[in-house]
Every structure is written in structure tokens, then in C-alpha cells.
Amino acid sequence: MSSMDFIRIAAACPLTNVADIEFNLNNIKICIDKALTEKSKLVVFPELSMTSYTCADLFEQQLLLEKSTEALKNLCDYSKDKDILIAVGAPLVFNYCLYNCAYVIFNGELLGIVPKSYIPNYEEFYEKRWFTEGLHIIDERVDLYFQKGIPFGVNLIFTCGKFKFAFEICEDLWAVIPPSSYLTLMGANIIGNLSASNEIVSKSFYRRNLVSSQSARCMCSYMYVSSGVFESSTDLVFSGDLCICENGTLLKANERFNRDNEVITSIVDLGRLNNQRLKNVSFRDNVKKCSQRPVNIEFQFENLDCGEFDRNIDKHPFVPSNEYEREARCREIFNIQTSALAKRVSHTNLKKAVIGISGGLDSTLALLVTVKTFDVLKISRKNIITITMPGFGTTDRTYNNAVSLCKNLGTEFREINIVDACLQHFKDISHNRDIHDVTYENVQARERTQIIMDIANKEGGLAIGTGDLSELALGWCTYNGDHMSMYGVNCSVPKTLVRYLVRYVADREVSKNIGDILIDVLNTPVSPELLPKGKDGEISQKTEDIVGPYELHDFFLYYFVRHNYSHKKILFLAKHAFKDDYDISTIEKWLNMFIRRFFTQQFKRSAIPDGPKVGTVSLSPRGDWRMPSDASFNLWLK
């Protein structure tokens, strides 16, 4: 896992007694040991966790400050031969000013001290009574009785190879421009926030949104660690809120108000973060404009073993697992598709649309989008010319579904059998009709496209494309056949999501009789139906038997295009996600096919029609994906 840029980090909230440093230190050690047991390489503790946050005027007591420093020495000694970076909160006296700091410890040494930049002094907070803001502290050095020349400043970055850690403290995150924004521009990719944030109604929801948003804005992993319930409750209550986010995603969070030592851990994917930064031009431009310079403090982990890989990897990254979110996603995509088509219809001033209906998923979705568009534009559905074109492999099930759907939706319906035209074309090009090869199949696909295009010209209509994102990724379309249209409404909808979109319309947008037809379409095997039917009249050509399961290909597509992962890393993640569904050899077989087809079929994507981007992955040559059609795939299969 370490070779694929994974690392496990931990957020810890220890038991505390206010001003009881020995007690606090012992519980900090317990949490460190637990984090080590779980193979974490970083553990972050709350703000002023060595003393407790709520000491108030006791922070001016010399005894408290001295014992805190002694405890830090003890903790440094305790950290020897422990392969974990530790960030703990404690006060520091520097030039007769008191600073609220994060002490960063590794293997017996204080690597650096980071002061809190912004000191809150409003509403329930009164920190300026004791502490000085550290915003101006840059590249200073501190001498403690047990270690001299310790780096001290807000611009410290602790570096171990690709892993670059930095820290800010509580209120810093609430600033208009948090220190973490500058730290990430200076290279930090994992941010720890040592905090003491009290609880009031709805604050936790706001706080976690803030953490998640900052991780997205900075394209980093952001860990927030707050003081627990044993802080003083004189006026405030703390909950021990712990959460770990990555680029806008909440990876792990605890149940607040725990009354015991607590450690949560999560595996962070640094490759995902670094790739996101690499492709984001605005981030790169911000880096150029950042005038601050980091103080890089290098150290070296003994190993980067993450332990058991327990990071959640969704089998269907394009499809939200939460039902409410999935419905919202489908509604949003359906609206994007209809709005896009409405613009094209309005712009061309064409009042008709022409679409081929096979009884399969993709053409069904394209028809539903077209119907909704015409309803929005107040154009009669009779202006939608739906054509079913049965051929050698058309089954009764798909034919009947196509006919029933078009008639129930109230479109103009036409049936044009392509068998005779294809037989004539076989004769024209001297092809034996009994040889069921790629020519046999493509003749049918191109004949159907020719019919659709010619009728669109004849009727003054727009030929609507039906192909989806997954088919474009695999090149599973006939060049200048179903590959071509005048506008492709499904071009960035992956196959795994098409099913849910059709189901959404069946449940929410249409009458029960139309919904029943859509459900049967959903239950029909995916097939181009270009080979003759079987003896029992059933589909003889099932797409997933030929190119592999679409759920695998959509998974491969997401991680290859969205995150630019290597073959090795995609295989590792797929093995984890599909461990209950496919063996590793099956996954590798289809991954290799995906890579080969993705590279060799780029020439088709270089010439696709216009169509709307609906999600984070698009293969439009005018937008998200620009790739030479003759690029070699060899490097990706080694």
C-alpha cells in the first residue's frame, strides 16, 4: 500500500483532568499506543491537551508551565523507537509572551513547534487574556531545557518523502484565509487541527462542513481533533469531536461525548490528492502567487505499513450508495440532460426529433429525456419520431417493449425492418450473410444510423444519440454507426448510472403502465442484438459476456480518468471493492481489456457529437479528455 501513496492517520481525544498534567500525559500515551497498534503514522491530539484547554488564569502559573514542559520531555522520551509522528497541544513562553502551540514529536525529538495564528476573543472565548497570536512567528528557534534550536513558526512543514504534514490550531480554521490555505500552497498535503471547540446547538454540523470544505478547497487531507467532555463545564461543554476528511469527503468521524480515551483512524490516499492538485490549474496559479516560503523539516518513517486496508472503496463510484442522495443525483442529471437538449432544439429552431428505439436501456433513457424536453418546450410529443428497426437479432421482448413504450408515451411511431436492406448491402459488398463477423454487425448498425439521419433531414428534425459513457470508454459502438448523431444526450452517463436514471423516471416521472414497461427494460440483458436470435428466440449476444461486466469497467474508468491511477493501483482497489464478487484473475483480465480498448478506441471519441457533461468524468475531445488516437497502451500493462 505504501507504494501506492496510502498512509494511515489518527485523531485522538484522551481523558483529561483540568491542570492535571501527569494524568493527561498518561492518557496521551495510552492513545499513542492505540494509534500505533492500528498502524497509524500520525496521531493528533486536541488543543492544549497536555494541560487541558480550560485552565483559564492558571495558564499564568509558573508551576503549570514548568510541569507542562517537563511532560513534553517525558513524551519525547516515550516516543523513542516509536514510528509515529505526534502532534500534541501545550503552552510555550517565548520572548515573555505565552503561545498556544502544537508540539510535533518524532522518535525522541521535538521536530518543531507551531503557534496558534489567530486568538479568539469574542462571545464565549477569552483567550487573549493569556495568549498571544502567532501569526508573525516565522522561522524562529526555541531553546527548551532538554533540546536547543527547535524550529518555531506558522510555516513549518514536516516532510517524509511525498507525505507533507502541517498543523494549525482551532480558530485558525475560522479565519477568512486559514493558515492551512497557505500551508497547502507551500506543499503540505495532510493538515492536522488541534482544537478545543465547545458545543452549542448545530455547531457540530457547521464545524464538520467547514472541515470538509477546507479539505476540498486545499485538496488535502484535513484532520480535526477537539477537546473532550472532561474539560471544565463552568460555562462550556466540549464533546471530543473527531473527524478526518479528504478533498471534500468525510472519511471517518466519531460519536461525540465519549467518556473514554478515543482514537479514530483512516487511510488517506495521497495519490488522489496530488493528482487533483496536478490537474487543477487554479491551484497551480495560487502556488505561483504564494509569497510565503515553508520551513521544511525532514524526517523518515521506518516503514509505511497501514495495516489492514479498511478504507471504504465503493464498487459503483458513479452511483451514490445512499438512496436519498441517489435520487437527488438522478433528478439532477435528468434535468441537466433535458436542459441541454432544450437549448440545442431551441437554438436550431427544429421542432422535431428523431430517435431509434431498440427496447434497450440507452435508447430508453434518451427517449425519456427527449419526451421531457419536448414537454418543457411545450412541443407536441407527436413531433418526436421514434423508429424501431428490427434486424437479424431483434427479440420479441425488446421489440414489444420498444413498441409499447413509444405508443404509451404518445410519440409518432414508425417501424422499419432493416433485414432486406442489410441483405442487399451484403450482396453489394460481396459479404457472405452466414459469416457473423464485425462486418455483419456493423452493416446493421450503420443502416440504422443512415435511416435515422435521413429521416431527420427529411422531417427537419434533430437525430438524437443514445450511446453512453461506458460504451465510449470501451469503443463499444460502430464508427459512423451508432457512434454518430446530431446530439448525444447520454454521452457522459455511465452504464451503471443509466439503470438508476431509468428507474428514477419509472418511479417518479411517468404513469404506472409506462413504469411497468421501463422495469422490464431494466430487467433485459444488455445486448446490441446484432447476431441472430437463439433457437428459443432469446438474446444470443450479451454485451457483458464479450467485453466484461460494466460495473467493473465503470470502476476502472472512474479511477483511470478521474484520478489517473496506475494499473497496479486500480487492480488493488478493485480487488478490495469486488472481493465478494470476482476473483483477482477475473478482475485483472477485464482490467487489461479495458486498458487495451480504451487506448485503441480513442479515434472514435475524437469524433463524437456534442453532448452535455453531467458528472466528474467526461470523454469529450473538446473538454475533459484529449488523447492521441495512436497512443500505446504498453506502459499501462507492464
What residues are designated binding site? Answer: 122, 197, 203, 356-363, 442, 466, 471, 476-479, 604
Give the C-alpha separation, 197 to 47, whole Å.
Answer: 9
Neighbours of 622 (CB within 10 A): 9
Pairing of strands 249-253, 242-246: antiparallel
218 as an active site residue: the answer is no
Q: Active site includes 116?
A: yes
Q: Which residues sit in the known binding site for deamido-NAD(+)?
A: 442, 471, 476-479, 604
Across the beta sheet with 109-115, the strand order is 140-144, 147-152, 109-115, 97-106, 85-94, 42-44, 6-13, 262-269
- The one catalytic residue among 13, 39, 41, 47: 47
Cα separation of 33 and 510, whole Å?
A: 58
Q: If you write DSSP's letter for every residue of 477-528 in order, what string do you get?
A: S-TTTTT--SEETTTT--HHHHHHHHHHHHHHTS-HHHHHHHHHHHTSPP--
| In contact, 243 and 195? CB cutoff 8 Å | no
All three cell numbers of 513: 403502465
Q: Which three-class secondary structure state does DSSP give residue 302?
A: coil
Strands 42-44 and 85-94 turn out to be parallel
Q: Is 168 a catalytic residue?
A: no
What are residue 271's phi and psi, to 5 degrees?
-60, -40
Q: At CA 98, angle to CA 225 and CA 183, rounded to 5? A: 50
* Nine cell digits for residue 426: 451484403
Cα angle for residues 442, 443, 447 (degrees, 5° grid): 115
What sections of 290-418 are H helices per DSSP?
Answer: 323-348, 361-376, 396-409
Task: Indicate the annotated binding residues for L-glutamine.
Answer: 122, 197, 203
Report d(CA 419, CA 247) in Å as an integer: 53
Residue 540 in grid coordinates: 444470443
User: 58: which strand partners?
Assistant: none
Angle between helices 62-78 and 21-37 (to 10 degrees): 20
Distance separating alpha carbons of residues 475 and 587, to the nearest angstrom: 19
Catalytic one among 13, 101, 170, 306? Answer: 170
- Say which of 41, 67, 116, 372 is annotated catalytic: 116
Q: Could you list the active site residues?
A: 47, 116, 170
